[in-house]
Structures are given as structure tokens and as C-alpha cells.
Structure 1
Amino acid sequence: MSLKTAEPGADRARRGTPAGRRSGLARLGPLPWIAPAVLLILLVVLWPVYEMVHTSFLRISTTGFVRGSAGFDKYTKLFDEPDFVPVLGWTLIWTVVVVVLTMVLSLALAQLFNQQFPGRRLTRWALIAPWAASVLMTAIGFKWMLDRTAGVLNTALTDLGIIDGPQDWLGDPGSAKPWMVLVAVFVSLPFTTYTILAGLQTVPAEVYEAAKVDGTGPWQTYRLITLPLLRPALLVGLVINLINVFNSFPVIWGMTQGGPNSGTATSTVFAFQLMNTDIGESAAMSVINFGLVVVMVLLFLKVSRWNEGEN
């Protein structure tokens, strides 16, 4: 008995698919599928970045009319701003403090929510509330709470005899900054907690059972098993928080608008403040912000060895 192998051309003819069309589509590979995403990135990300950089080299009036090229004058003017260095310093402190507190508290909450206890579902739902609400609305709500004349906090502390009279919590950078950090952590907890919780729930129970059989203690199990297996979730939470907190605008603008003057402004808010006086200088500040975010994320991924698990 002999078996005949059908020729590729005859097989294509039976299926009714032209050889030329198939080979043409095959040459394109995944391009037809990823083309919409690539086009969206070009329109939403790369084109605004190009316009931002281009604008930083122009002389533009406050009404939006281009008056010609400015060269590097806008960057020179920006670096000469008396608030430039303090703003960058506060931005660094703001980002580090908020991200560290968010990650530590989220890790603790994720561990808690991963346990079985009465009311666990209700507490999980409660954690979503800051996430579901608008960040700007949350910031304004805290601003009203801290208001000097009608704020709930001043009323409660005065009635309890803790303070002698109403305090202007947001009127001084020294007292406003801790409250801004608190609100930023508050609105960042839900996403980070659920990201870490999802990572915890992917850890196989058999791994813990094997560690228990080997006589590994709770701390050793957590350090040698839980944390390494949580690494992808922790890295995602860290990167997202670094970008979001560094670029945070609603929390600061909703509570203090960066004031008094630029005393509580981060670099993002400072760029918005500059727009009222010099659009080109504001664009230059935005370019520096973009560069700092890119460098910060690349350095973090390199230090954390993002692809280590794939090698």
C-alpha cells in the first residue's frame, strides 16, 4: 500500500486560499493585529511628547501666539527660577516617602486580606472606596476637613482641648506636606494592595506545606518563599506608583494648588503654575519631568533586574 503526500499547492487549491494572498499576509506577521495599538501610542504618547519638546524651544505669548524661536532661553530661564531646586527636592522626597509608605502598608493589608477572618469580604469592599472615588474629590474632601474656619478636624481637636484654637493646616508648607502625603498614600493603597494580594493568591499552598515539613520557621518562609514569589507583583506596584506619584497632580492641586507660592508644589504642579506666565518655560519643565520619569523607571528596572526570572 502506497501513501501519496499532497502537494502544498494542491492543498491550498482545495481549501480555496490563494497562495499569493497567504504568503503576503504571512510576511506581515503580527503587524495587522498590533497596528491599532502602535497607532494609538504614536497619537497619544509620541506626538504629544514631540509637541512638548518643540514648544519648549518657542517664544509663545500668554494668549497662545508663537512669536518665534527661543532656542534654549526657556531652559536657562527655568534653571534660574528661585523655586526650581526646592521644587525638585520636594518632588524627590514626596515620591520616595509616598511610594515607600504605600508599598509597606499595602503589603501588610494584602497579607491581612489573604487570611480567613469574619468580615473579610466587607473589608475588601471598603478598601475599594478610595479607588472608586475621584482623586480630586478625595483631595477636596480632605481640604474641607482641614479648613481653618469650618473644618471638622479643628472643631474636634478644639473641643477635646488638644489645640487652643483653629489651625491653618494647609496654609503652611510644614504642616501641609504631611497631610498631602497622607492623602496620596490613602488613594494609592487600593490598587497596590490588590496587586500584591493577587500575587499572594498565586503562591501554591504546596510550597508552604513543603516548607513546614522541612521545619522552616514563619519568618524564614516569608523571607525565602513569599517575598521572592511576590517579586513580579511588587515590581508592578512599585513601577506604577513611582510614575503615578511623581506625576501626581490632583492631590496637590486640590489641597493647596502648590501654595503658598510654590512651597508645596511638585515639578508637575510647578509646570502648571509656570504656564500662567510663560508657556515655553512650562513646556521646558514638562520636558524635564518626562526625562526624569524615563530615567527613574529605567534605573529602577535595571537595579531590580526586571527580566532576571526570564534568563
Structure 2
Amino acid sequence: MSNRTTTVRAGRRARPVRRRPLWQRLGPLPWLAPAVLLILTVVVWPAAEMVRTSLRRIDTSGTDHGPAGLVKYHKLFDDPRLPAVLGWTVVWTVAVVGLTMLVSLALAQLFHQNFPGRRITRWALIAPWAASVLMTAIGFRWMLDQVAGVLNRLLLDLGLIDHARAWLGDAGHAKPWLVLVAVFVSLPFTTYTLLAGLQTVPGEVYEAAHVDGASRWQTYRKVTLPLLRPAFLVALVVNLINVFNSFPVIWGMTQGGPNADTATTTVFMYMLRGYDVAESAAMSVVNFAVVIVMVLLFLKVSRWNEEEN
């Protein structure tokens, strides 16, 4: 009996092990491959090419004259216009994102209520989002035109001004209008993101707060805002990236002028490409690094990955 058992066990050990097919052993890799390939093609490769270009001597015709080291970065940081451009970029980003979040929060709260015509007003808010941002910027530019603009005609007819003004002719008048238009085109996405967050808050939470005797302001501060935090953070991060990298609004209205006074770093980068392609690439690298640092700092401060207690 013992010999028979030993023979059976030996036979079992002698059986060849069936290997799984290759596609099963790869697991999720075949499904992830298209996304990885897309990221490598549209993100990693352009970023690497951008860095490489910033280290070369390339003239406006595209001819590569060899390596330049960090010469283009020194040239960029020695540009006397850069400090003003960086300062305006910070003001532009903070002003547009701050106003967009405040107005969108109010609009989302309004659209969350039941009132006559709510569906129509929701549809109307989509209009700035559906239209091309560049088209919207050009439309505002013509509206603010000194000769043919409807704003000057309206203000003259009302007697509020005594002569037509070039609203986009100098940075002092142009910058508030640029911020206003940027907020206008940013409202739809932000409002609908916050509205979606408000609609996920269960009604039982408000009932419990009411039973506990909480006032409307206490309920909003202690219940609504904490539960709205995920949607708020998503909208804030997306707006920070979009506004910092915004190009159509400024280029469509002022083209960064006069003398780069209304140019952000993104617009300034585009302006440099007509003089020095490699310096423009260096500005792109700086922009890319600033965006990465800005997002990482924001996520750390907001404790994105930490769970609520």
C-alpha cells in the first residue's frame, strides 16, 4: 500500500504544469497600455522635447545651431519685462480664481433652490462655456473698442463720460476687463461642479441640523461647506491650472500689450517665440515647473489625500 501511494504521488509530481495564456499573465497591462501610450505621446514626449529645445541654439527659421547650455535661461531671467510679467501672472491667477469661486458658489447655491425659471437660467449659464473662449474675447474687444465699441456709445449717451475711451489701450484700464472676461468664461464649469457637489448632500443632514437648533449660517458653515469640500477642491485645482495657463482671453483682447504690460507668463512665452524659439521653450519649462509646484503645494495644504476625522 505504501509503494502504491508513493507511485501515485510521483505521477502527480510528474504532470506538466499548465501555464496560463500570455494575455492572462499580463493582467491589466493590455487595458492600461492605450492610456500609458497616450500620456507618453502627448505629455512626456512634448515635455522632454521642450526641455531639449530650451538647451539649444535655434533661430526663428528653426535651424539648430548646437547646444547652448543654460544660456537661454540666463537670457530669460535677465529680461527686464519678466518681473512685471510674473507679478501680473500672480495677480491675474489669484483675482480670477478667487472671484470665480466666490461667484460660482453663490450661483450654485441659487440654482440649488427651487424657483420659477430655474431650468432656463441653468441653460443660460452654459452659453459662455459653449462658445469659443477666443470668440468671446474678440467679442469683448470689439465691445470695448474706442471708435466702434458699444460700451463707449452707451456711456456717452448716458452722460457718464465726456469722450470715448480706449479701454484696452493701457494696462490700467485693460487689466480689470481681462479679469472680468476670464471670470465670465470660467463661471459655467465651476458653478456646475459646485452644484453637483451640493446635490450630493443628503437632506437628512439638514433635518438633523435643524432639529439640533442650528441657524442657517451655522448649517451652511458646519454642514454644507465641509460636505462640499471635495467638489470645491476639484473646481479650485482645475481653475488654478486653467487660469494660470490661460491664453485666449488675453491674446484675443490685448495680445499682451502694450509692451507686455498685460502678458502673463503663458502669453509672454508665445510672444518670445517670434524672437527666440529656445528662450520661449525656456519660459515653457519654467511655466511647467511652476504649475507642478503650485498643484503639489495646494494639495499638501488642503490635505487632499487625508480622510476627514
**TM-score band, normalised by the shorter chain?**
over 0.9
SS in 2 for 1:59: strand
Distance across 1 between alignment mates of 2:234 and 2:27: 29
Aligned to 2:19: 20
1:77 Cα shift? Answer: 0.4
Deviation digits for residues 250-281 of structure 1 (CA, Å, limit 9, x no counterpart): 00000000000100000000000000000000
Aligned to 1:218: 216
* Number of residues of Structure 1 aligned to a counterpart in Structure 2: 293
Aligned to 1:85: 83
Paired amino acid for 1:81: D
1:307 Cα shift? Answer: 1.2
1:167 Cα shift? Answer: 0.2
Aligned to 1:47: 45
- Residues 310 and 206 (structure 1), Cα distance of their counterparts in 2 relative to 1, 3 Å cut: closer
Deviation digits for residues 74-99 of structure 1 (CA, Å, limit 9, x no counterpart): 00000110101110010001000000
Aligned to 1:127: 125
Aligned to 2:206: 208
Aligned to 1:136: 134
1:310 Cα shift? Answer: 7.3
1:228 to 219, 226, 229: 226
Deviation digits for residues 145-171 of structure 1 (CA, Å, limit 9, x no counterpart): 000100000011011111111100001
Instruction: Extract unaligned runs of 5+ from structure 1.
Output: 1-17
Paired amino acid for 1:170: L
SS in 2 for 1:230: helix
Aligned to 2:169: 171
**Could you state the TM-score of these two structures normalised by the residue count of structure 1?**
0.92
Distance across 1 between alignment mates of 2:225 and 2:135: 35
1:19 Cα shift? Answer: 4.6
Aligned to 2:108: 110
Distance across 2 between alignment mates of 1:25 and 1:223: 52
1:32 to 30, 33, 36: 30
Identity of aligned residues (%): 73
Distance across 1 between alignment mates of 2:217 and 2:206: 12
Distance across 1 between alignment mates of 2:18 and 2:295: 46
1:34 Cα shift? Answer: 1.2
Paired amino acid for 2:275: T
2:60 to 54, 59, 62: 62
SS in 1 for 2:65: strand
Distance across 2 between alignment mates of 1:218 and 1:34: 47
1:237 aligns with 2:235: yes
SS in 2 for 1:68: strand
SS in 1 for 2:69: coil
Q: Which stretches of structure 1, 4 residues or longer, exceed 6 Å deviation after superposition?
A: none
Distance across 2 between alignment mates of 1:195 and 1:173: 33
SS in 2 for 1:154: helix
Instruction: Please list, as runs of the form range in 1=range in 2, the aligned pairs for 1:152-301 lying within 5 A after superposition.
Output: 152-301=150-299
1:27 Cα shift? Answer: 3.4
